[in-house]
Amino acid sequence: MTQLNETHEPSLQSWLNSANLEGTDFPIQNLPFAEFRRAGSDEAFRGGVAIGDQIVDLAALNNAYLQGSLGDLLTAEAAIALAAAAQSSLNELMSLGSIHWSALRLALSRGLRAGSAHESVIAACLIAQSDAEYALPARIGDYTDFYASIHHATNIGRLFRPDNPLLPNYQWIPIGYHGRSSSINMSGADFPRPHSQMKAPDAEKPVYGPCKRLDYELEVGIFIGQGNAQGQSVAMDDAEAHVFGLCLLNDWSARDIQAWEYQPLGPFLSKNFASTISPWVVTMEALLPYRSAWTRPEADPQPLSYLESMQNRAAGGFDMQLEVLVETAQMREQGLAPHRLGLSNFDYSYWTVAQMVTHHTVNGCNLQAGDLFGSGTMSGPHAGSEGAMIELTKGGKEPVTLSNGEVRTFLEDGDRVIMRGWCERAGAKRIGFGEMSSTILPAIEA
């Protein structure tokens, strides 16, 4: 595991003033990656690193390096990583592994620091975030969604199966299903309310139409870095070396479609019409100062040995705050601030990222660079930490009143769902994941 190093030093300042402002998501200690171009242009997408309110254009920086303008800032490993990061997807960078990621991070940190001799060359590679548009950071070959919050699993299980909320495998297996990657969207891409079959519990037969119980799921997205060969599992102590970084994920869910279709093979059309991720991927190295111990309540089954490790117990968790808000069409028209629906933390997870990777590969399943995992809806144990509306409104039975007086049981057309994430801890610099959002459009006439 990578150790804390000079790039995490909380007192580090950048020559770029906006990176030093209190509360910025992107201080010099963060340095997350995205794929971007100038908004509205037909430029090629290329990798970028966020710093303050700017983006370091890694294609431009790579050109500067190739012209000899960066002196000895880059080691050989960092130069290989920069060339990979300049491409139109980050898959190759993700496949290189932590020695290369870390070398590029160190070079960027040194180049962006106050007093750097490379300020003028790097400053010429900056583009304002306000002038950028983003693409998915990687070609996502496969997408797997887990179910790692026991609070969510219990809350939702109670609604779907009142007498049997938590199924007996839950405390033994990191439960997941294979989702669909083709409908994963970048933040800002809106989508229409989906159609399918639904059946009310007391109805004789199903009906076809637009879903009426559309919901969000507040999740962490996990980008796989180096893959594993088919047939070769990844042991717990190696698991995190296969993870590139984390982002925000909204796993949109049509609850009425889900309730009718989910048995016996799990979610299908209730989930695969759209999922939204944030543009910025925060690397595992940037997240090091916010790692936390992972524990399993003593009264619960302890993990089977292949899902157990000292390292996972010591620091398998992430103290990562997660927030979800809604901005209705009316709030937008009236210029009102969005309403917070939930505030949770990735540390509520019953299973760690390492356990997800190890379990996913224990049968020999091969992961590939750019694969995406979802953590599952990351609800906490108390009121206010629900990660989905179905939990907040007890299945639609207890409508929630928003700050402007509007009432919701589920999401309505025009609702824009916003997610944010950040890490803060004494002795470390606060870092953030930026913001992502997407708006529900009316169903297409069918």
- Site residues, Mn ion (CB under 5 A): 145, 217, 251
DSSP 173-206: S--EEE--STTEEETT--EEPPEEEE--TT-SS-
User: Catalytic site residue 152?
Assistant: yes
Distance in Å, CB of 312 to Mn ion, minimum: 23
Place of tokens 């069409």: 329
Based on CB atoms, which residue is closest to Mn ion, 240 or 251? 251
Based on CB atoms, which residue is closest to Mn ion, 89 or 276? 276
The residue annotated as part of the active site, out of 118, 151, 152, 359, is 152
Please state the φ and ψ torsions of residue 326, each to the nearest 5 degrees: -125, 140
E strands in 193-328: 195-198, 207-210, 214-215, 218-224, 243-250, 253-254, 275-277, 282-283, 291-292, 317-318, 321-327
Would you say 32 and 286 are in contact if contact means Cβ atoms under 8 Å apart?
A: yes
Cα–Cα distance measured from residue 217 to residue 207, given in angstroms and rounded to the nearest whole number: 25
Distance in Å, CB of 363 to Mn ion, minimum: 22
Q: How is residue 326 written in tokens? A: 């809604």
Based on CB atoms, which residue is closest to Mn ion, 108 or 218? 218
Cα–Cα distance measured from residue 211 to residue 160, given in angstroms and rounded to the nearest whole number: 17
Q: Beta strand 176-178 with 253-254: parallel, antiparallel or unpaired?
A: unpaired
Angle of helix 58-66 versus helix 76-85 axis, rounded to 10: 130
Distance in Å, CB of 242 to Mn ion, minimum: 21
Distance in Å, CB of 389 to Mn ion, minimum: 13
Residues in the chain: 446
**Which residue's CB comes closest to Mn ion?**
251
Question: Residue 93 has what DSSP assignment?
Answer: H
Question: Residue 281 has what DSSP assignment?
Answer: B
Query: Where do the H-state alpha helices sit in 269-419?
Result: 310-315, 329-334, 353-361, 389-392
Based on CB atoms, which residue is closest to Mn ion, 142 or 145? 145
Tell which residue, 353, 370, 197, 203, has the closest CA to residue 287: 353
Distance in Å, CB of 271 to Mn ion, minimum: 7
E strands in 268-337: 275-277, 282-283, 291-292, 317-318, 321-327
Based on CB atoms, which residue is closest to Mn ion, 57 or 217? 217
Based on CB atoms, which residue is closest to Mn ion, 251 or 386? 251
Tell which residue, 13, 20, 26, 4, has the closest CA to residue 435: 26
Distance in Å, CB of 265 to Mn ion, minimum: 16
Distance in Å, CB of 374 to Mn ion, minimum: 5
Based on CB atoms, which residue is closest to Mn ion, 92 or 145? 145
Q: Supply the residues annotated as catalytic.
A: 152
